[in-house]
Structures are given as C-alpha cells and as structure tokens.
Chains A and B, each alone.
Chain A
Amino acid sequence: MAIHVGSPPLEGTSKARTVALTVNGEGVELRIEPRVSLLDALREHLGLTGTKKGCDQGTCGACTVWSDGRRVLSCLTLAVAGEGHEITTVEGLQDGGELHPMQAAFIAHDAFQCGYCTPGQLMSAVALLEEGRAADDEIAEWMSGNICRCAAYPNIRDAIREVRDAAGGE
C-alpha cells in the first residue's frame, strides 16, 4: 500500500505534482516540485537522511543509491526520474535488525572516521561485489567515485576484501 507523505509547505503551490517512488521496497507518494532531486526528496521529504549531500554536483559520491540495483548519484537524478524504479538507500541495507556484512566489516576495519561519506561508500562497496569488480587490483579503481576526506581508503579496501572472501570469491 502506498503511504502518502505530505510536504506541507508545497501542498498549495501549483507547481507541485505527485511523484510515486519505491524506496527500500516501500511505495511512497510525494507532492513535490519537478525540480526536486532524488537526493533532496529522500532527505528533505522522506526523512531518509542516511544518503548524504557532499557536493550536489556529482563529484563526491556521498549520495550514491541504487536504482534497480545499479549505483547512481541521487544528486544528479531528478526524483521524477526515479518513478518506476526500485530505489535502495543505506537504510535498506540491513536485513531486519541485522547489519549487512559490509556494514559490519566497515566497523571492524575502521573504514570510516567522520562517517559522512560512509553510506555512499557502502552502497558502492556492495554494488562492486555484485558487479564482479572486486579483484584486488580493481577495488581501488572502482571505488574511486566515492571521496573519503578522512582518507580511510586502505581500511575501506580491507573491509571489501573481507566481505568478498567470506562470500567465497572475487
């Protein structure tokens, strides 16, 4: 069942339209302007602030989410363009209360400091394994769309390798 999430300030403006999204398996309807990015729809209208805004220009990767399992930059995606796609955010990584193995590995390997890039790193790291790009000499290159200003990169690579090896392969 679709949940209606109101955005009170825009309710009365003529420019707002209804956008139906599927986020983390749940259908939601938003009244938003067409110019609202998927990132701002998630953060400002759905309360899903796990997805971060670092640059709003497609350069830092902090806003990485999945659209039908593919990683996309939600700051460069309009929310209306998300209609008809399965959007997954960091809040959708957990299975019930259980951390995803990649989340647990990030904690175990101290793969973050300030934590602001972490949701984007996690979405890329999990997708990387799905994409089959997790060979030792591939990880650094295929994780390079996600800036970590604290520079936890070596630890991020360790975490990804551990999850890859536990899953039995590259």
Chain B
Amino acid sequence: MTAVIGREAVRVDGREKVTGSARYSGEIALPGLAYAEIVGALVARGRITSIDTRAAENAGGVAAVLTRRDLPAVNRVPLVPSLMGGPAPGETFFPMQDDEVHYAGQPVAIVVADSLEQARYAASLVEVSYAGAPSVTTIGQGRGDAYEPEKIFGGFMPARSRRGDARDGLASADLGVDATFRFAPNHHNALEPMTTTAVWEDDRLTLYDSCQGIKAVQLTVAALLGMSPSRIRVLTRYVGGAFGSKAMVWPHVTLAALAARHVRRPVRLTVSRAQMFTSYGHREEQEQRVRLGARRDGALTAIRHDKISVTSPFDDWAEPAFCAASQLYAAPAFEGVHRLVRGNTMTPTFTRGPGEAAGVFSLECAMDELAGRLGIDPVELRMRNLSDVDPNTGHPWSSSGFAECLRRGAERFGWDARDPRPGREREGDQLIGTGMAAAAYPVAFFMRTQRARARLYADGTAVVGTAAQEFGTGMTTVLTQVAADALGLGLDDVRLDYGDTDLPTAGSPVGSNGAMMVSAAVHYAAAAVRDRLVALAAGDPASPLHGADPAWITVDGGRMALADDPGAGESYGELMERHLMGDTEALGTWDPPPLDTPYGLLTFGAQFARVAVDADLGTVRVRHMVGAFAPGRVLNPRTARSQLMGGMLWGMSQALLEGTHMDAGLGRWANASLGDYLVPVNADAPEVDVELIEVDDDVTGPLGVKGVGEIGQVGSGAAIANAVHHATGHRVHELPITVEDLLPALEWEAGR
C-alpha cells in the first residue's frame, strides 16, 4: 500500500486558489448587503468632546452613522489565548462604550452605506472633536514607570522564571557576554485585510470572518453580546494569511455584528490597509538584555535574560522572551524577568514565532559573540551545551533531534569550509559572511478536546468534517491525508469539510498546534469507521474475511484484506451492501495530555545564512539560507517545507526589513502602509533549503506530529545578524538592521 501520510500531496484547495473561484470572507455575495467603514480616533489619548454626524448622514446612500450612543453595553470578557478553546478577545477593552480614547485608530464611529464608495466618503465627513492628553507609546517615554506584572501573554505565563542561582553562575564564570537588543514593533500585514460579514435572521447570527479560529469567533462574540453560542454560526472557508494576527478576536468582528443588527441588513466591514495597523495587535516594541556566563571549555554556567516592552493601557501583554530560550541549553542557572510599560497602543498579540522569534534571536546572537570570544566554532559551542532533559524541569524530551539538526544543517550549508575570522571574504564591493543559530519552538497542550466526524458511503468515498480551518498552512491537505490513511482510501476519495462552527468542535490552529491537535481527532474518527467495518467483516459468515483477527486485516483502496494473504478480502462497498448500510459514520475525539505531562516539549532546528554586505552602501542581501528542523512526523513534506521556508523568510524580514515606527509626539504609527512598512518582495528572497529530520514522538498524539508553523522564523534572523557580523566585524543590536546601522562602522573600517 502506498502511504498517504508523508506523501508530497498537492494542496486540496489549490485549484480554487489558482482559478480565483475561492471565495474569501469578504467575497460572499448576499442580497441587500451594506458596507461598513470604521472611523478611527485621530488622537492617541484623550476624550471625545463631540461627534457631528450630519454631513455623513446626508452624503447619499448612508443607512446609518453609529456612535457610542447607538451601541448596547458590551460585556467585559477576560483575555485568554484562543488556543485554550474559550472566548478570546484580543484586548479586554471594547471601543464605543464611552468617550475615552486610549489609542490612535480606536473605533469612534461606524458608517454603514449602500456601497463601498459611499461608506468610505461618508466616513471622511464624520466630524469628531477631541480633548487630547499627552500619550505614552514607546519604551523611551515610559521606561521610568516600567513595572513587573504578575503574569503575561494573556495571563498564562508568569512574568519571572528561574532555576538555580544565576547571579552566582555569572560571577563564577571564566568569561561573560552582556548584550542588549532592541526590536522595532512588527505588524503581521496578512495580505487579506480583516473582514467580517454579519447576517442576522431573527436572533440568529451568521458571521463570515477572516480569522484563525471560527470557534474562537463564535464564543467571543457570544460572550461579548451575551448570546448563546448556539445562536451564532461562523463560516470561514478561505483566509488570506494570518500569522497570529487573526488568532484573537478583535473589536471589528463584534462591531460588524452590531452594525448589521442596527440597520437590519447584512453588513460587511473590511478594514483598510492603513487601519490594519490599528485594528488588531502587533509584536510590541521591546528591548532584551542577555547575560551569559561560560567556562573556558564553552559550558554555560548561567543565563540571565530580561525584557522590557510596551503593552496597552488594559492588559499585561508581553510575548514571552524565554520559553525556548531558557530550555535550549544545559546551563545550571537561569533567571529572566519581563517588565512592562503601559502605552497608548492596542494590546500586542501573537506574531509568528511569538516570543521565541525575539527571545531566541537575543540568546543566539549572544551565543555567537560568546563563541567568538572563546574561539570555539558556533556549531560546536551549541553541541557542547546540549541538554538531554528539559533543563527547567529535568524531564526527558518527548523527542529532540537538535544535534542532528545542527549536524545536517551544517553539512548541507557547507559550514566546515568557513573561516571563523570576520571580514575575511570579499567579492568586489561585497563583504561576504556566514552565520548560524539554533531554533526552537514549544509544543504546548493548552487546547481542549478536539473532535472530528468521518462518514463513509457504500461507494467507498468519505466525507470528514471538523470545525478546523485553513489559512494557508496546508492543514486541510494534511487532514485529508490523515483521514485517507486511516480509512485505507485514496486521497481523491476523501473530502474534508471544514470552516463551519456547526461541524464537530476543533480549536484554533495556532501556536503551531493545528496539524498536531486536529489530525489526532481526524485520525481517531476515520480509524473508528475502518475498525467498525473490519470487525463487521470478521464476524460476518458471508465475508471472505470471516473469522480473521481484525488486527490482521488491512485496508487499501477501500478493500479489506488479510495482511498476509491479500487475495482474501472484499471491499467496504460489498460488505455494506450486504448489510443494507448506505453509509456509516463515527466521531473521533482527542484529549490532549495534561499540562504537567512529565516531558520536555520543544521542537528543535538549526539555521544557517550567507549574506553579502555592500562595503560602500551598507546594504545587506541574503544570498542563501539553510534550515534543518525536527518537527516530529512530517505529514506532507511539500506543505511542511513551504511553511518552514515562509517562516525562514519572515525571520529574514524581521532582521532586515520590518519595523513599524511610532511617531512618539503624536502617538500614531508613522508608516501604516505596505509602501512604508517593508515586507520582502520576490527580489529580496534568496533560495531557501529546508532539511526535514523526522523524529519519533509518542507523547504529542497518535501520529507524533509537533508542528512547523513558527519554528522556521525562530533563529533565522539571528543567523543573518551573525552573518552580518561575520561579513563586517560589526555587531548590530537593533532590528531591523538598516544601512544607517552599518554605514558608520563600514566608513570607519574603510578609513582605517
């Protein structure tokens, strides 16, 4: 039998995507549809003194201009990450409840009109007056008032973490590194803007929403509006990218529902590209200081890792700087603290590689500096600090593969040929450098029970349903593969139904958990159908398989046969017809292991990069990237490689391009467009090699999947920054690395 799992199957939704027939959430045709446009606050802090809606109301085609007076009181719902399976608002604040303004862009009015053009024009006519107050939006403005919160990250991570005595470990070290890194804020900028279409029929609400988790949308809107979830159905077939931005449920979703209820028509609310910077959270501005202590042989004695960052006025949010960064190496002592500055911004949120992308960057740049000072090869330094157990708990890894990633990545990259001395390789004007870094991303069992249903028809085709969804990760493709595998059917004979909250409950595929958690439920559902029919055949005197041990019956192409005598058998269809079964179906459930499962849970990898720095211009071009990753079992190498490649290029982008700049005087993002917020284009993207290293893992579910969504981004920026140092001899401690950072050093070097 040809294995369906592990096959390089093409995407099941590929044809719809290349023909343009895929209908995304903002493309659902509905009779009587009206268009909503948000009017955002122009000040970052203050009070609304008046709103004049008359000109907007008379602009033509306008159905309503809503202000806070038109909105009901909305319930306050705590901020809990969507992965946990409950209501998950992106911030505890809900706009248009009073006159206070807490951040620029905060919705203060909504215009609903017959056409897009009418709505947009009328929105420009809403006159809002403010009594402004001084705002704080940067670390620089608020450093003096920084505080240590009790918990961060939606309240499920402590702000402080320690093992051993870091002070002692640093003091007793032969050698130390003390480095501080500054990170610009990042906005995900998925290409599909946030969009919600809301339709009421009596007291039942249907939402078409561009989101990462339809259940999270259903439960959040229900909680905010005090409705029963059974009255809300969310349908989301295609999502044009998310990267964490659509994991939590942001105010515009509920505002669309309220606007639709107000005008008694279906309403579509789409935020503009400029509003994409103030309609959902971001990766916060942050500074991280890493102190390493080591012995001469390279063994770490202690790690101290501290972070300060900007959060909102309402929530204690920081992406955790040292989940993976505290687990990667066997240092006996670790201590880290997150401190926060309250700022007039939205609550920050998950951004690809949340926490680890910046935390591991800081650690791995410091490790590179340490390697240089010790005179130990950077790969070798990591090898000398490998840990057989999770150093925080002492539990064994559920699976690792870290050493193998370092070895195979180095081999594929050609690391051994490297001259460790910086600034030695030059091609004309180009300074060439290479760098590497470790990668890691946690596996976390925060989700609740996952469910899926499998139905097999007598003609040997199946439909598998689960309330999961697809936003480009390839999850629907791998779930189809998993179902086909367990049913013993060809891929073309299985159809996956998804993106509908009426289907069996699945969690938000976030935190690189989608493939792991939903595939488990799909596997159990499909296997239950197969096992039922195999047992029926074994017990049926009319079956050629009568009396056989079910454990020795295999299914291939819908035909059940003896494993050791493939000639003896019959098809599902023959058996089902004899038993007058038109179809048969089963529910599959998977309960995640407990949170305190006694294993270290981390996905490992290693990243390598080659860069060229223009000696005269200071521009950095990445020439080649290699990443080796050990994500447990690989369900589909094609889609897995694409996810990892995309993540690696996101790391490149974080290192060299992306930064949202705050105008601290105004308290507004200064570059809120795709012309000014730089993301990579085709000419920025080098060739990327991805090495997949499969490791057996029997803790992370029946298929041993760990996840590939984020780890590609972790460490890739550090590999690039380390390569820039290798090329130029200069270490940049600020992301993104720009010409302005490098030119002074290069000029100094040239003048020497």
Contact = CB atoms under 8 A, between A and B. Distances in A.
A47 interface: yes
A110 B638 contact: yes
B191 to A, nearest CB: 5
Contacts of B688: 154
A56 to B, nearest CB: 6
B21 interface: yes
A9 B35 CA distance: 12
A141 B683 contact: yes
Interface residues of A, number: 64
A141 B233 CA distance: 44
Contacts of B650: 151
Contacts of A49: 20, 23-24, 27
Given A149-B191, A149-B679, A113 B21 contact: no
B218 to A, nearest CB: 22
A108 interface: yes
A20 interface: no
Interface in B253-300: 272-273
The interface residues of chain A, by DSSP majority, are classed as loop
B526 to A, nearest CB: 25
B238 interface: yes
A132 interface: no
Contact of A57 (B10, B20, B673): B673
B191 A113 contact: no
B675 A59 contact: yes
A144 B18 contact: no
Contacts of A9: 61, 114-115
Interface in A75-103: 89-91, 93-94, 99, 103
A51 B20 CA distance: 7
A5 interface: no
A139 B190 CA distance: 24
Interface string A46-78: 011111111111011010000000000000000
Interface in B148-201: 189-193
A33 B681 CA distance: 34
B378 interface: no
Nearest to A51: B20
B619 to A, nearest CB: 15
A62 B639 CA distance: 22
Given A107-B18, A113-B642, A153 B685 contact: yes
B117 A110 contact: no
A59 B674 contact: yes
B635 to A, nearest CB: 14
Contacts of A44: 115-116
Contacts of B243: 149
Contacts, number: 188
B471 interface: yes
Contacts of B434: none
B1 to A, nearest CB: 25
B116 A110 contact: no
B77 interface: no
B239 interface: yes
A18 interface: no
B504 to A, nearest CB: 24
A52 B191 contact: yes
B249 to A, nearest CB: 19
A9 B17 CA distance: 30
Contacts of A107: 10-11, 14-15, 18
A146 B682 contact: yes
Nearest to B474: A113
B123 to A, nearest CB: 14
Nearest to A116: B240
Given A107-B11, A110-B638, A154-B685, A57 B473 contact: no
Contacts of B14: 106-107, 112
Interface string B603-616: 00000000000000
Contacts of B642: 110, 113, 150, 152, 155
A144 B191 contact: no
Nearest to A15: B60
B649 interface: yes
Contact of B273 (A57, A94, A145, A152): A57
A122 B20 CA distance: 10
A48 B21 CA distance: 9
B20 A154 contact: no
A27 interface: no
B273 A115 contact: no
A90 B240 contact: no
A147 B15 contact: no
B18 A153 contact: no
Contacts of A104: 18
A81 to B, nearest CB: 15
List the 4 closest pairs (A to B, CB-CB), nearest first.
Answer: A50-B20, A116-B240, A114-B472, A115-B17
Given A52-B192, A115-B17, 16 more contacts: A36-B115, A49-B24, A54-B273, A55-B674, A56-B273, A59-B674, A91-B20, A93-B19, A115-B16, A115-B238, A116-B191, A117-B240, A119-B18, A122-B18, A147-B674, A149-B243
27 contacts: A9-B115, A36-B115, A49-B24, A51-B20, A52-B24, A52-B192, A53-B26, A54-B193, A62-B191, A89-B20, A90-B19, A91-B19, A91-B21, A99-B19, A104-B18, A106-B14, A112-B17, A115-B13, A115-B17, A118-B18, A119-B18, A143-B682, A145-B681, A149-B679, A151-B680, A153-B681, A154-B687
Interface of A: 7, 9-10, 13, 15, 33, 35-36, 40, 43-44, 47-57, 59-60, 62, 89-91, 93-94, 99, 103-104, 106-108, 110, 112-119, 122, 139-141, 143-157
